[in-house]
Amino acid sequence: MQQDETPEERKERLRKQLNETHTWPCSFSFKFIVPTDGDGEEQLRAIFSASSNFSSRPSRNGRYTAHTITKLVHKADEVFEHYERAANIPGVISL
């Protein structure tokens, strides 16, 4: 976050960057890390449609699992919606 930037200003800056670097609709890769011992993967699958492509990789010590989810997205706001919903998963790290 830039200095003195409100959450709304940050979101608008990110929206502009997404619109400059993507042509909608496009295949977008979402990346998350969740604790392995929870139900984070199930919660991620509930957020994304069955047509999304999931790939997972456990951490070296097995305590965390990294998930890459590729989904067809039609606009930048869909990207925000998915990350905002995933933020409610306990222990999630969004990349």
Chain segment 40-71, per-residue pLDDT in tens: 999 999 999 888 999 999 999 999 999 999 99
Is the torsion defined by CA of 32, 33, 37, 38 positive or negative?
negative
Whole-prediction pTM value?
Answer: 0.89
User: Considering only the top CATH level, what class is 24-94?
Assistant: alpha beta
Q: What is the pLDDT of residue 31?
A: 98
- Residue 1 predicted with pLDDT over 60: no
Q: In degrees to the nearest 10, what's the CA dihedral of 95, 11, 2, 86?
A: -30
Please compute the mean of the pLDDT values over residues 16-31 and round it to a whole number: 97
Give residue 2's pLDDT.
65
Domain ranges of the chain: 24-94
